[in-house]
Amino acid sequence: MTVFGLSWTTALAEGGRDALKQRCGGDYTTYCGDLPPDGDEVQACFRKNMANLSPACRAEIDRHEKGRRKG
């Protein structure tokens, strides 16, 4: 499953885990903290709450999405 064109698993495997954790950790806790962090449910939760995510988190997701399109 993907989040905004971003495979969560791929982003984490490519070293994006630290950046996503740092920039999206608060958003995860606020909106999706009751869900397992690597599950499909959290991806759906982020998608549902995209408009509410912090600018830093949205930018990190966008960065991964753009990198994925180039590769």
Q: Which residues lie closer than 8 Å to 5 by C-beta, 6 or more apart?
A: 65, 68, 69
Model confidence over 13-28: pLDDT tens digits?
Answer: 555 678 888 899 999 9
Q: What is the pLDDT of residue 4?
A: 44
Model's pTM, two decimal places? 0.70
